[in-house]
Amino acid sequence: MDQLENKTTTAVEHEYGASEIQVLEGLEAVRKRPGMYIGSTSASGLHHLVYEIVDNSIDEALAGYCTEIGVTIGKGNTITVTDNGRGIPVDIQQQTGKAALEVVFTILHAGGKFGGGGYKVSGGLHGVGASVVNALSEWLEARVYKNGNIYEMKFARGHVTQPMTIIGTTDRTGTEVTFKPDPEMFTDTTEYDYETLHTRMREEAFLNAGLSITITDDRGEEPVSETMCYEGGIREFVTFLNRNKTAVHDQVIYMAGSREDSMAEVALQYNDSYSEIIVSFANNVHTPEGGMHEEGFKRALTNALNAYGRKSKLLKEDDKITGDDYREGLTCIISVKLTEAQFEGQTKAKLGNSEIRTLVNAVVSEKLEIFLEENPSVGRAILEKALNAARAREAARKARESVRRKTGLESGQMPDKLRDCNERDPALTEIYIVEGDSAGGSATQGRDSRFQAILPLWGKMLNVEKARADKVYGNDKLSPVITALGAGIGEEFNPEKLRYHKIIIMADADVDGAHIRTLLLTFFFRFMRPLIEQGYVYSAVPPLYKLTRGKTVKVAFSDEERDRVSAEMRGENANAKVDISRFKGLGEMNPEELWETTMNPETRTLRRITLEDAVKADEIFTILMGEKVEPRKEFIEQNAKYVVNLDI
């Protein structure tokens, strides 16, 4: 606090000098290239604004001064974030002659650089975004409760519209920020999705044990609100992820340790499914590409279980159990905190600090050994499960070989239903996976056969929840997909062998379409995960409406677009008749319409499937196909009215 004077003022006046001009240039740069600062200006960037602000409150919690955070979506899609921390400093900074509060919102990357102390753990990752959010907001208002006063300051598109003013007195401390994302910047959508924010805030609550986060949606007639606070932290995260599955042992195993400025915690529990779920975080930032913390964990898990198996005689000399076998049915959260996190990889989502591998390895090796010694029944259950996995893997290898011989997989023979393209370079080709023969027919006629292949799906669905690789190879619905993609499945999956670099799921916007998307995504997630991780999978976005006025035909992809386009088509003439019909399915479109709206790379929209989409699909699949009846009933009840737009 040395550069901050402890003085309060009712309205801060200052000269507009060189620094002010720099400030505006900084924020102008954000408005010129918003994608550089928030990734994109689509829905994901819109939601990112909220995380940037909330991160500041989380940092205050990590510093030990904040216990409650509120996030509210207001009418008009404004966002209010509140916390009960110390309040952003309001003193005048000597360097700039401005209140720290103003600096936070007007200087790029100012966060974390003032005050000191508060951002230690985040290593400069958090708390840099308040000025970016300000620059991208039509307006933003901040209120700080501190020193017995309520300070208020207002901005519009990054410019100060009301200098810092004391508007009242208070006996509490904290910060409250409300902003409205600028529609000039977020041209796709300015509408917040409650579920997206809810999911992310729940994650933050799990990662910060004891921190209470309340999310509220005030847009409807009645407010919707949920308070999330988990004393058990990531232990409860694991329980939550396994909630629809059957656990192999009751207790969640929890291990934690630290060294110098870094700390690591791991929570895990096995369930009776065959999928591996490892979700890792560095400084509360999700690292879907993994990295050193995951490597350290996997190595330690394999070594500790091997050692225990040998020692307890559960493993024989010639039993060969792989790391994959030990991770079958594992649900695990890894959370590390470190001072200078290095994020690498394509999407900066992979942790590069090698000292963290050593730390996680040491913590898990030591603590897991002790746990297994003290809980031999759990140790036995895990080892038996891994032995089963190893046996199944061997059986799958044999099945694969026999299927290969029978179906000529090796000889490169393609499925009968595949309408392949002429181009051979996978980087230039796409495959549309289409449910139903009639849609398949339109797609085959409408496509550009130079680079677009069509694979219609048919036959009986397989419960991939309970299936291992051997069953999948023999299934008549999924085996053509495996053959057409050409890259194998499971541990043999090799993306370098892919025959197409765009895999596009094209299904109707109805319940059946949602089912087929859920099935395919779950299948890819379980058996070809790198396909999703490396961004090869897309969902086609077919239009919902067809609008006709005389000879003019247009389409719309949402209700809002339908209303806008129909107004445009009417033009001056409010009484002009625009005929609006709803596309009931892909099969209803003729080949030209399908090409123009959904398949032509120049005019179509493709949604790239993320790992989160796949995790969500996997979860829905587990509920729909799993053994537990209660979650299924609950899901169907809750989703009955939305089931048409299952957003996957």
Q: Are strands 537-540 and 606-608 parallel, antiparallel or unpaired?
A: antiparallel
* Distance of alpha carbon 497 from alpha carbon 426, whole angstroms: 9
Please identify, using beta-carbon distances, which residue of 115 and 446 lies nearer to ligand TSJ.
115
The distance of closest approach from Cβ of residue 476 to ligand TSJ in the complex, given in angstroms and rounded to an integer, is 55
For 3, other C-beta atoms within 10 Å of its C-beta total 14
Identity (one letter) of the amino acid at 122? Answer: S
Tokens of 1: 């606090």
Please identify, using beta-carbon distances, which residue of 70 and 440 lies nearer to ligand TSJ.
70
Starting at the edge strand that comes first in sequence, how are the strands of the sheet with 452-457 ordered? 452-457, 430-435, 502-506, 537-540, 606-608
Contact 447, 432 (CB under 8 A): yes
* Distance of alpha carbon 594 from alpha carbon 443, whole angstroms: 7
Number of residues this chain uses to bind ligand TSJ (CB under 6 A): 19
Footprint on residues 553-612 left by ligand TSJ (CB under 6 A): none
Biggest CA-to-CA distance, the chain: 85
Query: Of 177, 255, 282, 403, which one interacts with ligand TSJ (CB under 6 A)?
Result: 177
Does 403 interact with ligand TSJ (rule: CB under 6 A)?
A: no
Q: Which of 384, 512, 560, 579 is catalytic?
A: 512
Query: Of 33, 95, 117, 641, which one interacts with ligand TSJ (CB under 6 A)?
Result: 117
The region of 111-119, 305-313, 562-570, 604-612 touching ligand TSJ under the rule CB under 6 A is: 111-119
Please identify, using beta-carbon distances, which residue of 137 and 518 lies nearer to ligand TSJ.
137
Query: Of 26, 34, 45, 111, which one interacts with ligand TSJ (CB under 6 A)?
Result: 111
Please identify, using beta-carbon distances, which residue of 144 and 390 lies nearer to ligand TSJ.
144
The region of 56-64, 194-202, 253-261, 538-546 touching ligand TSJ under the rule CB under 6 A is: 56-64
Query: Of 121, 125, 130, 646, which one interacts with ligand TSJ (CB under 6 A)?
Result: 130
Return the SS3 of 319. Answer: coil
Please identify, using beta-carbon distances, which residue of 77 and 600 lies nearer to ligand TSJ.
77
DSSP bridge pairs for 351: 291, 343
The distance of closest approach from Cβ of residue 277 to ligand TSJ in the complex, given in angstroms and rounded to an integer, is 32
The distance of closest approach from Cβ of residue 54 to ligand TSJ in the complex, given in angstroms and rounded to an integer, is 7
Active site residue 435: yes
The distance of closest approach from Cβ of residue 57 to ligand TSJ in the complex, given in angstroms and rounded to an integer, is 5
Tokens of 634: 């609950």
Footprint on residues 59-88 left by ligand TSJ (CB under 6 A): 60, 81, 83, 85-86, 88
Burial code of 500-514, b = ≥16 C-beta within 10 A, e = fewer?
bbbbbbbbbbeeebb
The distance of closest approach from Cβ of residue 371 to ligand TSJ in the complex, given in angstroms and rounded to an integer, is 38
Please identify, using beta-carbon distances, which residue of 76 and 117 lies nearer to ligand TSJ.
117
Does 102 interact with ligand TSJ (rule: CB under 6 A)?
A: no
Query: Of 1, 36, 224, 370, which one interacts with ligand TSJ (CB under 6 A)?
Result: 1
Please identify, using beta-carbon distances, which residue of 51 and 583 lies nearer to ligand TSJ.
51
The region of 113-121, 345-353, 375-383, 613-621 touching ligand TSJ under the rule CB under 6 A is: 113-121
* Distance of alpha carbon 274 from alpha carbon 313, whole angstroms: 25
- Which one, of 377, 407, 396, lies nearest residue 467 by Cα? 396
Identity (one letter) of the amino acid at 66? Answer: C
Please identify, using beta-carbon distances, which residue of 53 and 136 lies nearer to ligand TSJ.
53
- Which one, of 435, 428, 426, 437, lies nearest residue 542 by Cα? 435
The distance of closest approach from Cβ of residue 59 to ligand TSJ in the complex, given in angstroms and rounded to an integer, is 7
Extended strands (E) in 96-193: 137-146, 149-156, 159-169, 174-181
Q: Which of 218, 369, 491, 510 is catalytic?
A: 510
Find all residues with CB under 8 Å of 427, minimum gap 6, and list them.
501
| Sign of the Cα pseudo-torsion (134, 135, 137, 141, in order) | positive
- Which one, of 92, 179, 86, lies nearest residue 129 by Cα? 179
| Sign of the Cα pseudo-torsion (533, 537, 543, 544, in order) | negative
Contact 518, 463 (CB under 8 A): no
Does 89 interact with ligand TSJ (rule: CB under 6 A)?
A: yes
The distance of closest approach from Cβ of residue 534 to ligand TSJ in the complex, given in angstroms and rounded to an integer, is 34
- Which one, of 499, 467, 466, 468, lies nearest residue 482 by Cα? 499
Find all residues with CB under 8 Å of 190, minimum gap 6, and list them.
46, 77, 181, 183
Please identify, using beta-carbon distances, which residue of 12 and 104 lies nearer to ligand TSJ.
104
The distance of closest approach from Cβ of residue 226 to ligand TSJ in the complex, given in angstroms and rounded to an integer, is 19
Please identify, using beta-carbon distances, which residue of 179 and 536 lies nearer to ligand TSJ.
179
Q: Which of 289, 465, 508, 596 is catalytic?
A: 508
The distance of closest approach from Cβ of residue 157 to ligand TSJ in the complex, given in angstroms and rounded to an integer, is 16
The distance of closest approach from Cβ of residue 215 to ligand TSJ in the complex, given in angstroms and rounded to an integer, is 14
Q: What is the CA radius of gyration of the chain?
A: 27
Active site residue 425: no
Q: Which of 435, 470, 596, 618 is catalytic?
A: 435
Query: Of 99, 104, 213, 462, which one interacts with ligand TSJ (CB under 6 A)?
Result: 104
Please identify, using beta-carbon distances, which residue of 177 and 531 lies nearer to ligand TSJ.
177
The region of 114-122, 243-251, 478-486, 574-582 touching ligand TSJ under the rule CB under 6 A is: 114-122
Contact 266, 299 (CB under 8 A): no
Active site residue 510: yes
The distance of closest approach from Cβ of residue 89 to ligand TSJ in the complex, given in angstroms and rounded to an integer, is 5
Find all residues with CB under 8 Å of 167, minimum gap 6, and list them.
143, 150, 151, 152
DSSP class per residue in 494-519: -GGG-S-SEEEEE--SSHHHHHHHHH
Footprint on residues 420-479 left by ligand TSJ (CB under 6 A): none
Query: Of 46, 53, 266, 282, which one interacts with ligand TSJ (CB under 6 A)?
Result: 53
Contacting positions for ligand TSJ (CB under 6 A): 1, 53, 56-57, 60, 81, 83, 85-86, 88-89, 104, 111, 115, 117-118, 130, 175, 177
Active-site amino acid positions: 435, 508, 510, 512
